[in-house]
Homo-oligomer: A and B are copies of this chain.
Amino acid sequence: MKWARFLRGDNISYGIVENSGVIQQVSGDPFTAYSVTGVEYDLNEVKILAPVIPRMLYAAGPNYRGHVEGMANRRGSQPVYPIFPEPNFRSVHAIIGTEDNIVIPKDCSGTVQPEGQLGVVIGVDARNVKKDEALNYVFGYTIGNDISQRVWQGGDRTMFRGKNCDTFKPLGPWIVTDLNPNDFHITVRHNGEVWEDFYSKDQIWDTATWIEELSRYTTLHVGDVLWMGTQGADGDMFPGDVIEVEISDIGVLKNYVVAED
């Protein structure tokens, strides 16, 4: 199933997206309980929102060898591969939906950089979960774009403004259930040109391992989102640019880059 959260007039609802391009509105939400209302819209009649606002948004530390190498190359240093899975946190207030604007802060160096990410949405509270059962705790999969300001990221002590300014966390367009997290093909396109093209099977640690490791220390709660890392280290985006992250069997997360007023 394909679940979207959408705005129609002043109302926010969840809905089931059909291949025909129709969205079936539900009452409730897919994580706890819902019922189909019988109301349906064409996708172009509604505004698609980020499919969930998690209580916690986790971002895997380096999880593709090519990202470690690309970032080291940017810094002119040798790559240092991680030795165990460690997440960082992202601001849930920075989340925006597909088709929304990414705003470049006026006091930064003037550009931001994308990172296409597989998003894993937790469906059942998980604590001390073993790897071979970990995927039972997943509700479904979505797409993230971990917008970064590399100058701040490189020089600041924390990743607060380098990764977490308002609008820096595009998420969506929807959540798709019943997929295999090791089978995704991920593409990042900048103004239509392919910047990254990679496969989730090349993660240093797979999704199930991340859930096992995180849940040893923290309860993963329903609706929490884990981003599974990115490949490569992409170039600069300027106002006027369009950035898309596409994941096979999920869809396309598309955002526009603008300058802060």
Could you tell me which A residues sit within 8 Å of B by CB distance?
55-56, 61, 82, 86-94, 105, 107, 127, 156-158, 160-161, 164-166, 214, 216-219, 221
Contacts and interface: CB of A to CB of B under 8 A. Distances in A.
B158 A88 contact: yes
A72 B80 CA distance: 25
A72 B105 CA distance: 34
B56 A221 contact: no
B158 A127 contact: no
B93 A55 contact: yes
24 contacts: A55-B55, A55-B92, A56-B93, A61-B157, A86-B156, A86-B157, A86-B161, A87-B158, A88-B158, A88-B160, A89-B164, A91-B218, A93-B218, A93-B219, A93-B221, A94-B218, A105-B216, A127-B166, A160-B217, A160-B218, A161-B217, A165-B217, A165-B218, A166-B219
A91 B107 CA distance: 28
A217 B168 CA distance: 10
Main secondary structure of the interface of A (DSSP, over half): loop
A79 to B, nearest CB: 14
Contacts of A218: 91, 93-94, 160, 164-166
A217 B89 contact: no
B56 A91 contact: yes
A82 to B, nearest CB: 7
Contacts of A165: 217-218
B55 A87 contact: no
A165 B218 CA distance: 5
A127 B94 CA distance: 13
Given A91-B218, A92-B56, A86 B166 contact: no
B217 A166 contact: yes
- Which interface residue of A55, A90, A94, A217 has the most chain B CB atoms within 10 A? A217
